[in-house]
Structure 1
Amino acid sequence: MKEIKGGVCAAKGFFANGIYSGIKKKKTSKDLAIIYSESLCNAAAVYTQNKVCGANIIVSKENLKNGKAKAIICNSGNANTCNKDGIEKAKAMCKGVAEYLKISEKDVAVASTGVIGVPLQVELIIKNIKPLIDKAKNSAEASKNAANAIMTTDTFIKEIAFAFEIGGKTVKIGGIAKGSGMIHPNMATLLAFITTDANISQKLLQKALREDIKNTYNMINVDGDTSTNDMVVALSNGEAKNPIIDREGNNYKIFCKALNMVNTYLCKSMAKDGEGATKLIECEAINSKDIETARKISKSVISSNLLKAAIFGCDMNWGRIACAIGYADCKFDINKVAINVSSKFGNMNVFEKGYGLKFDEKKALKILKEKEIKITVNMNSGKNKATAWGCDLTYDYVKINGSYRS
């Protein structure tokens, strides 16, 4: 696997762009993005589990029911959720793209993110579809423009791409994402768009995405809130001309590894960019009796607001880690568990066989002052492992969300 430039435009045949349309108040902010393929793609998607879902979720689910798509349009600054005319406006966005690209409305996925309950000024989007698509390119800059246009409270763009080989052909895969707050996926509380020129069947593309989110998007937490709007969409147009991946052999495993690398990078970026965050927290549960226990333990630890606050304050309060392990919904023997906390500065064992260990407070402070903190929970009960990502909880998180609508 080789990291390359290009984001969602790294793969052959994909174009993108992002512009300002007037949805956001700040004219210096982009708020409308397009991603499309020259040829029809196999499409896979996963959606928020929030029972109050955005109009974009309803429309995209219907449009992608046949597993095909050619374009994705996304606006930021307005969620188009809980509005009486929301579905009508989401469909209008699809229609506008379809008419300009001369494709079926059913081949367009639509996404919206931002404030809930505010009517969407869809006319601003419709009149900007022409300049949006006219300037769309297959370039690294175009991908960055699209990544910028889907952001809300994000502080930096999130994109990545990789090249790999299948059947003697170079295959590329790339993705962009947004997510800073309202992050506690069960899928999902974010937007992520993945493009690949891999020749893979829709059935296996969907399976690969559905399985991978269990170890990536479903393993991040910023604030414990599951959003109403968000989704992950993957498009594959087959332009790499590799032998079709239509069975779960070695080529499928190679593709899944590449997909996981894209998703893992995007997830860590979102956790790192949590609203007001100053530190990335990674928790790896190792030597677990099964994968599900490892997932629940690691996710429970990074979801603890008390731990998040302690990490912000550089307080080696291992009791909060043990507490979070203890209320995870799974069975284990706490007397076998060991906890280690580490960073670039060094590492420290703080808990073993049910009891805390003495440690050097000065060394602990230096470990926790780093920007990336890792917590390793050794279950000492098997061979399975899982990793989850979160961030610290800061004063700025309250400031940002105390005035989100303004």
Structure 2
Amino acid sequence: MKIIEGGVCAAKGFKAGSVRCGVKESRTNDDTAIIFSECECTAAATYTMNRVKAAPLYVTMEHLEDGVARAIVANAGNANACAPDGMENARRMAKAAAQLLGVAETDVAVASTGVIGQRLNIECIEEHLPELVLEDNASEKANRAIMTTDTKPKTAAVEFTIGGKTCRIGGICKGSGMIHPNMGTMLSFITTDCAITHEMLTDALQENVKKTYNRVTVDGDTSTNDMCIVLANGMAGNTLIEWQDEEYQAFCKALNEVNTRLARQIAADGEGATKLVTCTVKNSRSEEAAERLAKAVVGSNLVKAAMFGADANWGRVLCAMGYSKAPFRPEYVSVAFESAAGSVAVCDKGAALDFDEELAKKVLSESEVTIAVDVNEGEDSATAWGCDLTYDYVKINGDYRT
């Protein structure tokens, strides 16, 4: 497997494009994007766990019932959630894209992100979407068009081999705030030229999302609009993957690489964040317990604040583990902080260690920090990703609507 460039345009037969429609008047850059395949794709998706779901999710669910699609249309600036005429406008958005592309309306998935509770200006999308031009290398343009409070595009792509054929998977995503396990204001669009059945694609995506996007937290809020969509057009020419065999495992490994990279980028670009915080829990009784512990640590506001201040306050780590409801024995736990500046052990068998505070400060001042936890009770492990909590988070969200 090789890391490559190209995002959603890395795989054969995929194009992308973006245009400014004026969904949000104050926005001056492109706000609507399309990802399109030259031929029909098998399609799979996962959606937010929030009981309140935006209209585009319901429309996408309807359109993907048959397991096929050709395109994704997405806008930023308005979530079309809890909004007047929500379903009608989501369908009109799909229809506008379908007319531009010359495909069936049901072959278009729809996504939106932005402010909740305001009517989507569908008229401006219908007016300006025909101006969008599809290009072979427009992945970044499409990525920027779906950004809201994101500070940078988020992309990943890999090349791998299935049955002697070169295949590619690439993706883009957006997500900065309202991010919590079980997905949070997060849109992820993945494309691949690998030939795989709808059933196998669905299994691969659902299993992988559990270990990537669902292990990211920024602020504890789960959005109304989250979704991850994968389109597979089969243009690589490999033998169709229809069983969970070695070729399926190779596909899953490549998908995991792309989604892990995207998930880490979401965590690192959390609203106001200055650093990516990773928690790895090893030697746990089960992967489920390790995951619950790791999520609790990166989700703790006190831990996040300590990371912002580069304060080696390891007691907050054990405190978060303690309310995670995961089984572990505090008296067995060891904790260390790690980064490019080094490693410092701060806790052993649930008790404090003497450590160099100056070294700890240096370790925690890096842009990427790992909280390494060993519960010394089993053989399973899990990793979760988050970020620090800064003053800017409140500034960004204090007037987000206005």
Instruction: Output the CA distance in 2 between the equivalents of 1:176 and 1:230.
Output: 14
Give the match for residue 213 of structure 2: 217
Partner of residue 183 from structure 1, selected from 174, 179, 202: 179
Instruction: Output the CA distance in 1 between the equivalents of 2:362 and 2:195.
Output: 49
User: Secondary structure of 1:299's match?
Assistant: helix
Instruction: Output the CA distance in 1 between the equivalents of 2:326 and 2:276.
Output: 25
Give the match for residue 136 of structure 1: 134
Give the match for residue 237 of structure 1: 233
User: Is 2:44 the partner of 1:48?
Assistant: no
Gap change, CA 1:26 and 1:83, over 3 Å in 2: closer
Does the aligned pair in 1 maintain the 2:113–2:185 contact within 8 Å? Answer: no
Aligned-residue offset at 1:26: 3.9
Give the match for residue 320 of structure 2: 324
What stretches of structure 1 of length at least 5 have no aligned partner?
none
User: Secondary structure of 1:285's match?
Assistant: strand
| 1:199-348 superposed matches below 5 A | 199-348=195-344
1:225-249 per-residue CA deviation (whole Å, 9 max, x = no partner) reads 0001110000000000101111111
Aligned-residue offset at 1:27: 4.8
1:349-392 per-residue CA deviation (whole Å, 9 max, x = no partner) reads 11111211111111111111111110111111121111100000
What letter corresponds to residue 266 of structure 1 in structure 2?
A: L
More deviation, 359-368/73-82: 359-368
User: Secondary structure of 2:317's match?
Assistant: helix
Aligned-residue offset at 1:102: 2.2
Instruction: Output the CA distance in 1 between the equivalents of 2:24 and 2:156.
Output: 26
More deviation, 325-334/262-271: 325-334
Give the match for residue 91 of structure 1: 91
Instruction: Output the CA distance in 2 between the equivalents of 1:16 and 1:78.
Output: 21
What letter corresponds to residue 112 of structure 1 in structure 2?
A: S
Aligned-residue offset at 1:173: 0.5
Aligned-residue offset at 1:337: 1.3
User: Secondary structure of 1:66's match?
Assistant: coil
Aligned-residue offset at 1:189: 3.4
Aligned-residue offset at 1:188: 4.5
1:321-341 per-residue CA deviation (whole Å, 9 max, x = no partner) reads 010111112211111111111
Instruction: Output the CA distance in 2 between the equivalents of 1:65 and 1:195.
Output: 18
Instruction: Output the CA distance in 2 between the equivalents of 1:4 and 1:192.
Output: 18
Figure out how many residues of one structure are paired with residues of the other and give that number. Answer: 402
User: Secondary structure of 1:88's match?
Assistant: helix
Instruction: Output the CA distance in 1 between the equivalents of 2:164 and 2:325.
Output: 46
User: Secondary structure of 1:91's match?
Assistant: helix
What letter corresponds to residue 50 of structure 1 in structure 2?
A: N
User: Secondary structure of 2:189's match?
Assistant: strand
Instruction: Output the CA distance in 1 between the equivalents of 2:152 and 2:184.
Output: 20
1:164-222 per-residue CA deviation (whole Å, 9 max, x = no partner) reads 11111100000000000000031443000000000011101000000001110000000
Instruction: Output the CA distance in 2 between the equivalents of 1:70 and 1:267.
Output: 25
Instruction: Output the CA distance in 1 between the equivalents of 2:145 and 2:26.
Output: 12
Instruction: Output the CA distance in 2 between the equivalents of 1:329 and 1:64.
Output: 36
Instruction: Output the CA distance in 2 between the equivalents of 1:277 and 1:330.
Output: 28
Instruction: Output the CA distance in 2 between the equivalents of 1:397 and 1:386.
Output: 27
Give the match for residue 154 of structure 2: 158
User: Is 2:108 the partner of 1:112?
Assistant: no
Partner of residue 394 from structure 2, selected from 395, 398, 401: 398
Give the match for residue 171 of structure 1: 167
More deviation, 329-338/66-75: 329-338
User: Secondary structure of 1:128's match?
Assistant: helix
Aligned-residue offset at 1:314: 1.1
Aligned-residue offset at 1:154: 0.2
Instruction: Output the CA distance in 2 between the equivalents of 1:27 and 1:231.
Output: 23
What letter corresponds to residue 72 of structure 2 in structure 1?
A: I
What letter corresponds to residue 323 of structure 1 in structure 2?
A: C
Instruction: Output the CA distance in 1 between the equivalents of 2:258 and 2:99.
Output: 32
Q: TM-score, normalised by structure 1?
A: 0.97
Does the aligned pair in 2 maintain the 1:164–1:172 contact within 8 Å? Answer: yes
Question: Considering only aligned residues, what root-mean-square deviation do their CA atoms show, in Å?
Answer: 1.0
What letter corresponds to residue 152 of structure 2 in structure 1?
A: F
Percent identical among aligned pairs is 53
User: Secondary structure of 2:64's match?
Assistant: helix
User: Secondary structure of 2:168's match?
Assistant: strand
Give the match for residue 123 of structure 1: 123
Instruction: Output the CA distance in 1 between the equivalents of 2:386 and 2:183.
Output: 16
Give the match for residue 354 of structure 1: 350
Does the aligned pair in 2 maintain the 1:46–1:187 contact within 8 Å? Answer: no
Does the aligned pair in 2 maintain the 1:48–1:185 contact within 8 Å? Answer: no
1:281-330 per-residue CA deviation (whole Å, 9 max, x = no partner) reads 00001111211011101111000000000110111100100101111122
Give the match for residue 73 of structure 2: 73
What letter corresponds to residue 15 of structure 1 in structure 2?
A: K
Instruction: Output the CA distance in 2 between the equivalents of 1:341 and 1:52.
Output: 38
